[in-house]
Amino acid sequence: MPTVFDHFAVLKPDLLFDKLEVSSEIYKELDNLYNGFRSHTLISAHQFSEDWSTWEKHPAGDEMVILLSGRAEFVLRRESGDESIVLEDPGSFVIIPRNTWHTARIKKVTSVLFVTPGEGTQNAVSPPVST
């Protein structure tokens, strides 16, 4: 039986799902299979044991991040400065607004479920303030 850790689900524009086995090339596959991920949403889960090494932002829409276990601090880069949101209760979540740079600081082994509008996702080591 597949789990959210070894398979991603892709919600297509027709609101039907595809299930894809996770591989080392999964993000390239997603771009190739789904036209740069235009108008698609990725449902994925990841386990983290250390802080993210980069920041990311999603210009196609808001991202929902749901804590499954552990403890994570999500840092959102705002014009007024970085905002910290701590998730520590299973089921707690944050909605990261479109075009907002964000990263995560991991306090202990943590599992997180993501609902991501993946089209145009950007990554940076030290991003500017979100616009």
Q: What is the pLDDT of residue 40?
A: 95
Judged against a pLDDT cut of 60, whether residue 127 lies above it is answered with yes
Amino acid symbol at 10:
V
Q: What is the pLDDT of residue 48?
A: 97
Judged against a pLDDT cut of 80, whether residue 28 lies above it is answered with yes
Q: What is the pLDDT of residue 126?
A: 86
pTM, whole model, 2 decimals?
Answer: 0.92
Residue 112: both structure tokens together: 């997180």
Helices (H), the chain: 26-33
